[in-house]
Structure formats: C-alpha cells, structure tokens
C-alpha cells in the first residue's frame, strides 16, 4: 500500500537526539533556543517561540494578543478542529466565515461581511489549508481597517509563500505544527513566529507558567514548553525542508498533469500563491467510491475534513450556513504527495485514478482496465 504520509527520520535526527541525551539537558534549553532562532530566520521574522504542538501555539498566540473573554475571532470552518478549539481555550468565540471555492481558504469577502455585522471581533485567524496560503493581502487590509489582529494558522504550510513572502511573516503572529505527518516534524511540537518582540515575550511567558525570572510568575500560564529532544529533531528537519517542499511540489505537478483528463478536480495555484502541498487534495462527485477504489489498488487516501467545524457536535450551538465549506467536505480526497514517493508510486496513483473513471463503480461509466491517455 502506498502510504499517505511517510516521515523521513534519518541520521541527522538520530545524532541530534543522541547529543541531547548525552548533554543531560532534556527539557527546555539551549537546543530549543537554537531551533527558535533558526526557524525565525527561515520564516523571515525577528522572533519565534517554541511550544508543545500547533494547538498550544495558537492558544498562546491568542493569550499574547490579549484575545479572550468577550472577544470573537473570525475564522474558517474548513480546517482541523484545533483552529477553532484554540480560540475557545483562550476564552473567545470562533465565528465562522465561508471559504473561497478555488483554494478553500478563508474568503475575504465573507470575512468583510462578518466584520461589518459584529463589533466584538478582536482577530482574524486565516488557515493555510493543505499548504495553500490564504489571501493575506485582503485579510491584512481588513484587519487594519477594523483594527483587529491577524493570525496565521500555518500548521500545514511550512515554506509556502504569498507574493514571494514566506508564510509565518504575513500577520501579527503565525503558528506552526510539527506533527509527524507535516512537511517537517519535531516528533511533536509547535512554533509561534512574529516580528513583535513584546508579543513573543508574552507568549514565551505564557508557555512557561507565566514565569518572569527564576521562580517568579507574573501571570497564570501553562506548561507549553518544547523539549530539547523535539528541538533536536526539528533542527535536523528544518535543514531538509526546502528539499522536501521541492519534492512535494514536483509530485503535485506530475499528478495535476496526469489527472488533467479525468473528472476529478485537481488543486489550483492562483497567481502569487506558492503552496507546499502538505496534502494533494482533489475533489470528486464520487469521492467515497474513489477512496474505496484507490484502496483496492494499493493507494492510501483520506478525507480532510469530512465534517466542517461548524457542523461538529462540539459546536452544535453554532447556527450558520456555509455552503462552500459544506460542499467541499462532501467532495475532497487527499492523495499521496510526500517526498518519499517513487516515480512508480506516482504512476500507480495516477493510473488508479484514471482507471476509476472507467470502472463499474462509477455510475454510467464504461468498464475497462486500460488507462485512457491524452
């Protein structure tokens, strides 16, 4: 079975972990500080604050921005639920706006409608879904016009760019995840990037139980500190990230070309947006049948995400119609695109999708086991 994800852990990661073990400094320490400096440099920001995971990065960022009780945060319903949960953990209310039909990122026009309707919005949270940058110029303009904070959820977008600028540098704060399936991993971990030194200091304090100096604590915070073991893995992975992303983009380009004559809708790349394909996500009116067909042909696939956040049981009190996100949840299917795929793997994925077009699974199709080439 061709896997949907295949984390690459090699000698550099192992050596880094062994060095940390030999040092005896296993918890937060200089290894973490080095990772923060290197990641900030990669994103083109002045500061970075390491955390335990992407969710805690978002939570700490909202706390540092003083977004909390009585505040609303406009965000997308088409994301992993952590995007909204972090808002709730900070004490604020997530308010959902629909997504762009092409990119499935937060639609600035729908955000503008929410901002015009409500006077309690304190922030906009844009999610770079699947590694596709959101429309940050419009969102930045809206944030400035309405005097609200702008935050990037870049958990799936390490290395993506918008108008030539790296994600992580496009908002007041940005948050990354280093979960094992991401474009780079630290085993588990997160990072906040920002040019605002005071914001970074507040976030770092919150992640360390509000500690100011020694064992003096100015605020009530959490233990969201990254370990040195995770930082060692992250530093090694960061060095490989450009190569990983180049491979993902190349694999995505191959699949887009090969699937051009099929009925599946392949990902678009709007001008000015350079995605890094954390997921290569197609859309199909026969999504569930396609997923089953691929499994029968040795190709893993998955649905990200089958239920929009506003329709999740955890958010049952939310009453809003968001038709673009709702329709996307019925049609999206992610195919393997990770750097470990071989040419043969990519051919197998493309052929399996093409064969589906003529399989007996598809209503009205003419069954054949031969691929139809252009």
Residue 133 DSSP class: P
Q: Which residues contact 335 (CB under 8 A, 6 or more apart)?
A: 4, 255, 280, 281, 282, 294, 299, 301, 349, 353
Residue 155 CA to residue 40 CA, distance in Å, equals 15
Q: Which residues of the chain have pLDDT under 70?
A: 360-374
Identify the structural domains of the chain with CATH numbers, from first to last: 11-236 (3.40.640.10), 242-356 (3.90.1150.10)
* Tens-digit pLDDT profile for residues 185-208: 999 999 999 999 999 999 999 999
Phi-psi region of 168 (alpha: psi -120 to 50; beta: other; left: phi over 0): left
- Whether the model pTM is above 0.85: yes
Residue 284 CA to residue 31 CA, distance in Å, equals 45
Give every strand in the sheet of 72-75, ordered side by side.
Answer: 47-51, 190-194, 173-177, 149-153, 121-127, 72-75, 93-96
Structure tokens at 197: 């030194």
Contact 221, 199 (CB under 8 A): no
**Paired strand residues for 203:** none
Residue 238 CA to residue 183 CA, distance in Å, equals 10
């Amino acid at each position: 079975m061709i896997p949907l994800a295949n984390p690459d852990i090699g000698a550099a990661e192992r050596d880094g972990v062994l060095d940390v073990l030999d040092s005896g400094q296993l918890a937060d320490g200089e290894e973490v500080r080095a990772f923060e400096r290197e990641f900030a440099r990669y994103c083109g920001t002045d500061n970075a604050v390491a955390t335990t995971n992407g969710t805690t990065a978002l939570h700490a960022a909202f706390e540092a921005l003083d977004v909390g009780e009585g505040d609303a945060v406009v965000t997308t319903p088409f994301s992993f639920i952590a995007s909204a949960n972090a808002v709730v953990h900070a004490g604020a209310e997530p308010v959902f706006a629909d997504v762009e039909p092409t990119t499935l990122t937060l639609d600035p026009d729908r955000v503008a409608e929410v901002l015009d309707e409500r006077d309690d919005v304190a922030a906009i949270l844009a999610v770079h879904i699947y590694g596709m940058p959101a429309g940050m110029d419009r969102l930045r303009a809206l944030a400035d016009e309405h005097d609200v904070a702008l935050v990037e959820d870049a958990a799936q977008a390490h290395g993506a760019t918008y108008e030539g600028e790296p994600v992580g540098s496009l908002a007041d704060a940005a948050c990354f995840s280093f979960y094992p399936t991401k474009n780079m991993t630290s085993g588990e971990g997160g990072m906040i990037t920002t040019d605002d030194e005071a914001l970074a200091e507040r976030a770092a304090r919150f992640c360390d139980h509000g500690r100011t100096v020694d064992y003096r604590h100015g605020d009530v915070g959490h233990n969201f500190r990254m370990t040195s073991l995770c930082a060692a893995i992250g530093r090694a992975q960061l060095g490989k990230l450009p190569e990983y992303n180049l491979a993902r983009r190349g694999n995505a380009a191959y699949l887009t070309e090969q699937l051009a004559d099929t009925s599946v809708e392949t990902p678009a790349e709007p001008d000015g947006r350079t995605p890094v394909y954390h997921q290569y996500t197609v859309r199909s009116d026969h999504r569930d049948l396609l997923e089953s067909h691929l499994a029968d042909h040795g190709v893993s696939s998955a649905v990200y995400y089958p239920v929009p956040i506003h329709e999740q049981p955890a958010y049952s009190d939310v009453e809003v119609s968001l038709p673009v996100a709702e329709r996307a949840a019925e049609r999206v299917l992610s195919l393997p695109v990770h750097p470990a795929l071989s040419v043969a793997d990519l051919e197998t994925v493309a052929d399996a999708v093409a064969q589906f077009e003529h399989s007996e699974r598809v209503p009205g199709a003419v069954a054949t086991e031969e691929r139809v080439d252009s």
